[in-house]
Structure 1
Amino acid sequence: MSVPLSAAVTLGLLFFLSVGLNEQVAEGCTCVQRHPQQVFCVSDIVIRAKILGSVASARPDLVAYSIKVITTFKSPNKKNIRVLYSSKTSCGARPENGEYLLSGHLVDGVMVFGLCDLVWRWDQLSSVQKRNLNLYRTGCACEITSCTGASCLNTKHQRKCLVGVKNSISLGYEEALQAVCLPGRHGSCRWQK
């Protein structure tokens, strides 16, 4: 039994399209690896909070969590947040009860966070990372960018701190997690440890 050429081509195209769509769905919830300072700077809100548990949600597409704010590092207003939300989709974060460093965005007046935001257990942050949280806002004018090979040797990155191959101007990723990118003299940005 032979399959006509047009049917074979159609089946082949369907196969490749389904693989391609599967790949897109699988990658839909991946996040580009970013330095916590970058996440801090693009977030509307950054807090240290104790998650008390999930509660009934007033928004059917979101999971609601009751929280107690311990420290506010960044917020557009002085309103005390008591409930925050995460998406019910696979891209939503599912923290357990406990203390966290959380970042998120204001959506219709409520804080919403997801996998690409800071959802870090507070007890897993180093003392340096905790201290740097108070400095991140100062460095928001700087750009943290990855570099590879020769681009890590270029010293003309005035407003950038480089992450990649460790040398005199760039840091490896693990070392960068323990540093903050701050503006210095003459408008250039540098890593501070």
Structure 2
Amino acid sequence: MSAAVTLALLFFWSVALNEQVTEGCTCLPKHPQQQFCASDIVIRAKVIGTVNSTRPQLTAYKIGTIQTYKQLDKKRIQVIYTRSTQTFCGINLRNGEYLLSGPVEDGRVVLDLCNRVEPWNQLSRIQKMYLSRYQRGCVCEISPCTGASCFIEILQKKCLIRVNNSFSLDDEEALQSICLPGSGGFCSWTKFLE
């Protein structure tokens, strides 16, 4: 076999194996504002219980929307879907109030472990307050940094957030703040008093 054919086969297999690995559930940590801005919907909702699903790989939950923070279309959401718990990213919801944020796929809200799905009573007062303010900061980018690069002043549409060696967020100040544009359009961390 020629070297070119061998190289092509090695490339094909590395791509194929990489595709299988990335189908697992590896979610990079994100600031709550990043999750908000990347989501198609962000709502406070009460999970009422499971209902029959039209998709076998998805579990369907009947919900009652309490408050809408972000929604692309104004269609009332009565059912959300989660990936089956037999898959890598599946979640299981109990009856109760949640903050739900994530994508809309083919007209359905489909959530998994990489989305923000948190019991409402576990959010702090400041986290709840920021939900109505994050939209203003979606013009800003939040970028991870490590070590000395976190202390570099950048005058652009970007806020830095420290991550540690295991790629988890390690910046309590940023986690209690919101990245907003200021004068000149430059973004910076802003903290509001409760």
Q: TM-score, normalised by structure 1?
A: 0.80
Q: Give 3-state SS (helix, strand or coil) of 1:47's partner.
A: strand
Determine the C-alpha separation between the residues in 1 that align with 2:171 and 2:55.
Answer: 38
Question: What is the aligned length?
Answer: 168
The Cα of 1:121 is off from its aligned counterpart by: 0.8
Contact 1:93 1:119 in 2 (8 A): no
Q: Give 3-state SS (helix, strand or coil) of 1:29's partner.
A: coil
Name the structure 1 match of 2:107: 109
Choose from 76, 79, 85 the match for 2:75. 79
Contact 2:24 2:88 in 1 (8 A): no
* Residue identity opposite 2:66 in structure 1: I
Determine the C-alpha separation between the residues in 2 that align with 1:59 and 1:39.
Answer: 26
Determine the C-alpha separation between the residues in 2 that align with 1:77 and 1:26.
Answer: 30
Choose from 186, 189, 193 the match for 1:188. 186
Tell me whether 1:120 sits opposite 2:118 in the alignment.
yes
Matches within 5 A, 1:1-193: 25=21, 28-88=24-84, 89-164=87-162, 172-193=170-191
Identity between Structure 1 and Structure 2 (%)? 57
* Residue identity opposite 1:134 in structure 2: S
Q: TM-score, normalised by structure 2?
A: 0.80
* Residue identity opposite 1:143 in structure 2: E
* Residue identity opposite 2:72 in structure 1: P
Q: Give 3-state SS (helix, strand or coil) of 2:173's partner.
A: helix
Contact 2:63 2:80 in 1 (8 A): yes
* Bigger CA radius of gyration: 1
* Residue identity opposite 1:32 in structure 2: L
The Cα of 1:157 is off from its aligned counterpart by: 4.3
* Residue identity opposite 2:177 in structure 1: A
Residue segments in structure 1 that go unaligned for 5+ positions in a row: 1-20, 166-170
Determine the C-alpha separation between the residues in 1 that align with 2:75 and 2:23.
Answer: 35
Q: Give 3-state SS (helix, strand or coil) of 1:140's partner.
A: helix
CA-based RMSD of the aligned residues comes to 2.1
Moved over 6 A (4+): none
Cα distance, 1:186–1:148 mapped onto 2, change above 3 Å: same
Residue segments in structure 2 that go unaligned for 5+ positions in a row: 1-16, 164-168
* Residue identity opposite 1:104 in structure 2: G
